[in-house]
Amino acid sequence: MIHYPRGWILRNLTSSEGLLRVNLKYSDNSQEYLPFVDLIPSPCAQDSSASEGERIECFLAGDSRSSEVTSLTAMHTLWLREHNRLARALKSMNRHWSPETVYQEARKIVGALHQIITVRDYIPKIIGPDAFNQYIGLYRGYDPTINPTVSNIFSTAAFRFGHATIQPIVKRLNAQYLDDPELPNLHLHEVFFSPWRLIKEGGLDPLLRGLLAHSAKRQVQDQLLNEELTEKLFVLSDNGSLDLASLNLQRGRDHGLPGYNDWREFCGLPKLETETDLNTVINNQQVTEKIMELYHNPNNIDVWLGGLVEDFLPGARTGPLFACIIGKQMKALRDGDRFWWENDNVFTEAQKHELRKHSLSRVICENTGISEVPVDAFQLGKFPEDFNHCDNIPGMNLECGKW
């Protein structure tokens, strides 16, 4: 996300503190922004009222998609700040450490926090508690026989379930979590490849408040992706707009993914042979009729579509097929990684104790001007009753962990 295989590209090599590069032209109320890409002019959209000399280029991060939409940019920026916060703290505690040692230790902690927040806080809400226990379960230690690489089916289909959760409106809220008349709501297509909106329209805090206080789009079987994604995707680019649903279907075919029924069989789920069978997993007669009209036979169904329209498991945001694929992938990523944060000799017991205290809400508290957040950033709540002041949000103590 913020680190890169060729790490020197994103490093501040002039610093003794092991920092990542930051933007030297703009800041966010003294907080850091991502640096701009080195190759300019970049393809990012510009403020129509700005002069050519006021160009704001795409941001540079460990993932080339960091400027794709402002919410992605916000998360990349948040973790850039967290790395640099940790690096400065580690250096102040260990004056004898080299910049390389500081950088690698901060990177290691950030990696552990990603693992904790993803598997402990996010994934159980996506696949549900039963599927989590079935496919992931408790950590038993590193298993060298497990391949931890990311599977084609996971990256091409299952984990793209999230496209159906994207809201068509981007909200930016003030400190009371209310609409800000100076920062009106935006349609999603207005923030594609538009980093200038972050820099010139309020910075990170209003955008993060909007994400914290408003739900993801409700996934309904007869309206999966909003029209901002199917009619106006990347409309601000020079190449015209795209259709994300069509891209996902074609991507699965390009990648050679077997069909929906093959993957159900892979997961030990019953194959569906008829429309009546489809009705047992899709509780919407009109949707099953439409699918059969298009595909004629369940064996022909594209796996991304089939997995997406299944009825949710209890306490989940996915059906049984995607819960299986996501769960299996997460277990492989965890158990096949000898550097997994819980594995022996990766961190000390004292350090692991501190890491467990941290959360996405704490990361937001540490790296923004936001003072009140939900205890669980992934759980929708009402402001102010379901929000806590940052003073009451737990977080790790590096000194207690004896880093």
Q: C-alpha distances in angstroms, 180 versus 78, 173, 207, 374? A: 22, 6, 11, 20
- Distance separating alpha carbons of residues 225 and 1, to the nearest angstrom: 25
**76 HSE (CA, 13 A, CB side):** 30
Q: Largest Cα–Cα distance in the chain?
A: 69
Q: Confirm or deny that 163 is annotated as ligand binding.
A: yes
DSSP at 312: P
Q: Structure tokens of 268?
A: 């030990």
28 contacts 100 by C-beta, under 8 angstroms: no
148 cis-preceded (ω within 30 degrees of 0): no
131 contacts 323 by C-beta, under 8 angstroms: yes
The b-or-e profile of 281-305 (16+ CB within 10 A means b, else e) is bbebeebbeebbeebeebeebbbbb
Question: What is the residue type of 345?
Answer: N
Which residue(s) pair with 276 in the sheet?
none
Which residue(s) pair with 355 in the sheet?
none
Could you tell me the sign of the dihedral formed by the alpha carbons of 20, 26, 30, 31, in that order? negative
Q: Which residues are annotated as a binding site?
A: 163
Q: Which residues are annotated as a binding site for heme b?
A: 163
